[in-house]
Amino acid sequence: MSYPPQNPYGPPPGQQPQYGYPQQQPQQPSPYGPYPGGGGMPGMQPQYPVAMPGGVKTARVLLFVLSGVNLIGLVLSVMLLGGVSKASHDVSAYSAADDVTAINVSKGLLIAVIVLIVVFTVLAITLALQFANGGSGVRVGSIVFGVGTLILSLCTFPLGLVHTILGIMVIAFISKDESKYWFSRPRY
């Protein structure tokens, strides 16, 4: 038996707490039960992160890395388009029509690839810049961007391996609960 006997409900009414013991307040259960979706009492505000969580920062950095890799691919594609254009000027008028058609198709495909790279680069930079103050639309846009990157990188698999890995990582980091809380926090 311990001395003095401990009362889990604190001292009886009208008495001062004993020296060395903190004053205890009885914890009463809520008559309403847990608040659906929040876990707290009705009327209480949920706790939102004040600083950007680590997973969100990582996803943001990965989007910047993806845009840098896209810029490298853009430079290489423009150089390749220049080489194909130069080759098309060297083709003589007496060459086979199949050669001219193949060169024109190659130029058209390279222009389409360049446009696609520019669109994905601008989208990656725009999304990454919106992480600090964007809402749930930025989160959804980042997930859609990651899926689009993943699908396009699987079409060019050996060359798109870096994009495949980075796209999967962006999707994984943005899909976490901490990211959901960050993007759904109130903005003033």
Task: Name the residue type at position 169.
Answer: M
Digit-by-digit pLDDT tens for the chain (188 residues) are: 556 666 666 666 666 656 665 555 555 555 555 545 545 555 555 577 777 888 899 999 999 999 999 999 999 999 999 988 887 777 766 667 777 788 888 889 999 999 999 999 999 999 999 988 878 889 999 999 999 999 999 888 788 899 999 999 999 999 988 888 888 888 76
Residue from 185, 188, 187, 179 nearest 53 by CA: 179
- Residues 6 or more apart whose Cβ sits within 8 Å of residue 181: 48, 49, 53
Provide the token pair at 123.
Answer: 């989208």
Q: Look at residue 90 in the predicted model and tell me its pLDDT.
A: 74
Structure tokens at 5: 């006997």
pLDDT at 60: 94
Three-state SS for 51-68 is CCCHHHHHHHHHHHHHHH
Per-residue CA distances from 34 to 25, 37, 38, 42, 177 (Å):
21, 9, 8, 8, 20
Q: Are 121 and 72 in contact (CB under 8 A)?
A: no
**Which is nearest to 21 in space by CA: 48, 2, 49, 47?**
2
Domain residue ranges in the chain: 55-183
Look at residue 118 in the predicted model and tell me its pLDDT: 96
Q: Determine whether 162 is exposed, middle or buried from the number of CB atoms within 10 Å of its CB (0-12, 13-18, 19+).
A: middle
What's residue 89's pLDDT?
A: 77
pLDDT of residue 124: 94
How confident is the model at residue 183, as a pLDDT? 86
Contact (Cβ atoms closer than 8 angstroms) between residue 49 and residue 178: yes
- Residue 32, pLDDT score: 55
**Cα(87)–Cα(146) distance, integer angstroms:** 36
187 SS3 class? coil
Q: Quick one: pLDDT at residue 146?
A: 93
- Compute the distance between CA of residue 63 and CA of residue 57 in angstroms, rounded to an integer: 10
